[in-house]
Structure 1
Amino acid sequence: MLSMLRDSIKGRLIAILLLSSIVPLALLGGLSYYSFHSFMENKLKSGINENLKKELTSLDNILKNLNFASQQLALDKTITSRIQEYLTTDDQIRKTDILLSVLDRMSLINYTSPFAGVIALVDEKEKRPFIQSYPIIDKIDMFDNPLLLEANGVSYFAPHPSTDKYNNDHTQVFSLARKVNDYGTKTSFYVYTESNFNTLKRLFENVQYGEPVKHLLLNADNQIVYSEDLARFPLHAKFKTEDKSVKDLRFIAESDQGWKLAVVMKGDAFQKELNSWLGKFVTVGLFTLMLSLLLAYICWRTIYRPLNVFRREIEWVGDNPSYRPQKWLRLREFDEVLGRFYAMKERVFDLLKEIERREKARSNVEVEKLKHQINPHFIHNTLNTVQVIAKMNKQNEIVKLITHFTRILHYNLGKEGTHVRVREEVDNINDYIALQSIRYSHQFEVAMKVDPSTVDVMIPRFVLQPLVENAIYHGFRNRNGTVSVSIEPLPEGGITMCVSDNGEGMPEERLQSLLEEKGPESRSVGMGIGLSFVHRLIQAYYGPSSGLRIESRLGIGTSITIVIRTGKGGEQP
């Protein structure tokens, strides 16, 4: 499986696209999960702590308001003296006056204190109310209520059922009891003040951030004095700020007097939000992976199709090198490469055709060379010359003639190979000139100029002799003349061999016929090798940039140059 992914374009594309999707997705998912978790947790905790502080402040204001209401009765000397008189006098009319006066004060207190509810004066010994703002029960055991705080002679009680006589719903209220002593009459009583029925309902929010919460009130010793969940947090039990056995969230705010307000929540809303986010993230992740696989498949198809076209085109070129309609992919980059491939293919086909043509030309040249290596007329004429010389009893000339003739025949037969060095070609030319000077009655001179750097250059056999022969046969026509032969190197590689004469010259139309295979001037003379054969032989071995170049002017002479290029632009045989 790993090797398939590693060794194929399809596998690598799938791996790259999957990694390019999974890695950023994993990094983004991990970072967003951490950020989301941190944000939700911090937001939840900070929000609940903030709400808790607000509730703590509100509760503290309620207790202060109740304390202030009790102070208006307990610290007012006029009121307290009247209350003491009420407790000690037997005058019913006076008691009634005092009762009305105290009730007026209580009504005023209720009116000016937004949180005050029941206000009662309770006898210390019998715990019975003797003056109250509302009808209440006959006996108040206030100290049986859970004590939240005791400070400066005032006892603050946690929520408990109201003493209202008509409290059928058992509504819970806050309360406090302040003791008032009169050392002159040796009497004492309690100013008992409750919060109104709506105070507790408005104080605590039972749902925060979509999560149900439970409120607890703790005294300075962390004992539970009020609980909204008595099953889990019973009264007077010690409250733990952390409980590893139970998965919940606990928050505590402490007042300046030492009592505390706590909130407990399960955290389901937070976990629900987290699970919802995880579900969405997994959905997006799966969609991204599916999209990556789809894109990988599309990319693979986009690349595979051009590669398949390339493969088929290459196989077609290898198996069947013939014409085939071009196929285009309509993808700019691939079409550019494919266009270059088609151009290369055309070039290869052209080269193959050129090679085939040259091989055929070489074969034809070799066959033609074999056909014309020895001209029977030349041998016949030579033998006649030998016969004439023999009659004249010039035996030394006969020996000389036979010697040159034998060398030429041996060189012409070419049994040492198709190519010779320049020096060998020059030696053959010297033999040929010596032979022709004996044969012809007119005099001609041959001037040889060979650059020393060219004597070891390999050239095709028997290409220089036809040029000298052409100069002797066609240039002078039985009159004296001079033939110049020069061989020089080319700067770019190769050599030039030039044969010039100062003979009759020829018109322009005859120049072209010399190089034509079936032209009027191409018929064989002497050794039987024409200029057209030499021209085709040179081009067959060295390419179209090489060959014969002929220049001629009537009455001045003719110059024939063999150009053999073996450097840039030329070819090696």
Structure 2
Amino acid sequence: MFKKLSISQAVVVVLMGMVIAVLLVTGISQRVIFDSTTEDVIQSSSREINKQVIMNYENYINEVINTANYLSTQTIELSEDGRFVDLNSMYEQAAKLSEDMVSIILFSAEGDVILTATEEAVVSDVMSFDWFTSAFNNPEIFHFSTPHQQVIFGSSIYTEVITVTKKVQFYDQGLLQHGVLMIDLITVNLIELALKTNLGENGHILILNDQSEFVYASNPECTDETCESKIYVDNIILGGDSVKLGEDYMYVNINTLKNTRWRIATFININNLYEAKQQATFFSTFILGVSLILSLGLSIYLSQRISNPLNKLKNHMQAIEQGEQMSEIEISGQKEVVALTKTFNHMVVEIKQLMQNIVVEQKEKRKSEFQALQTQIHPHFLYNTLDSIVWLAENNMNKEVVEMVIALSRFFRISISRGKNVISVKDELEHAQHYLLIQKIRYNKKFDYKLDINPKIYEYTIVKLVLQPIIENAIYHGINSEYEQGMILIKAYPQKKNLIFEIENNGYGITPERIAELTNQMKKEGQAQSVGLRNVYQRIKLYYGKEADIIITSELDEMTNIKIIIPMRKEEVDEKNS
């Protein structure tokens, strides 16, 4: 997969992958630790609160049981001595000392009142009440009723009470009797005990007896079997757990109250802990997002620090490949990139030196070829021209002799040009014109020529002997003198930043295949059939570079056109060629 990515992309992918992995592991670990710690805090604090609530209620219940045990013991002792008056006073005193105990009564097994600490008369048959029968059925324990309206006095004379009963013994006229000690406790103290503990908003206490009946519910809305809290407690016997009731998160602890067979459930509001948990989750997510963004930015920065110098080096190489001037690149980047750049710059220096050596070598080669061409042209051309002059003189064609001698003189004067390789365009065209005149006379006017020159190009310079070899080819290979007079047209004009020279003849023409062959031979090194054309092409390419070119076009039996394109240049030349 990485092979298809750039270095910068690969660096970003790898770094981001590592960062994401680290952040995920860290985030998940922190979340697990936080959740575990939060749960431990919730459980610990809930257990402590529940423990405190149970302690408060058990202390209260133990006080009642201790009072009942004391009364039970004193009942049998004082009754045995017949001191019922003292015993009755003790009952009254116990009721006065405890605001919660609104009535203390000793009943016989038949339900008759033996002793009482209240002035109200009992009018009901107490043997039909559960609290009475339960005491006889289970004499070993205290029995706590659910809150109820006490009706044994004919009407309710006080608020709801919880009736506590215990089977006791007493003496009546010397005989040991069995009875029931009844203590009525007002329930207001249950409320006060609940208010002593902070259970949070909507936190509450629920107390149920062994029949799952309501003993007390601090939540005023929890009054029947449809109460969510009661339904939850009914399904769980003992223990603690988190639960959502309505819109609130609660932690519930369920335990038993000693000596009562009651279950007490504390519902503690833990919304603040859940909110802290949610805030921590949001904060962790926010930190994770910010970390990812920062990591992405850092990854991109690092990748660019690595890849930018490489891209710069690559772009520089591509520019050189596409033909731009070869140059060294500024050294920057990491250690490895710096080493690579130095190697590239060293290579550029070496290549430039090699290219310079090649250019010098090629120039020397072209100079030798050019000199060889001049040596080849001048003697051959001179012999033929002198033969023609002799022939003209023998035939008394004095005018033509004069023209040829003048043209030949000027032709050689420009050819020599004091050994310079670059001459003015004007001299090059004049050189070509002298050559055409000499050849026209030699060929007995079997062809004519025409010049179409834009004078604006005279101010520019050109490599010497560019036109003459092409004109020579046009005369020797392009003129069909047997059927019609030949015509050679020379055009020279500026075009944008170039100089255009066209040599056109009305000869046989060339096939497209032959044009392709000539073009191929012209552009490759080595010997070729068209030595003059190749020599001109190689020289202008060497001197002017890629901007110079030669284009061949032709139509069979119509014409052949050789177009020479060179860039405009102005160089200092000696106007006097003699």
Could you tell me the TM-score, scaled by structure 1's length?
Answer: 0.47
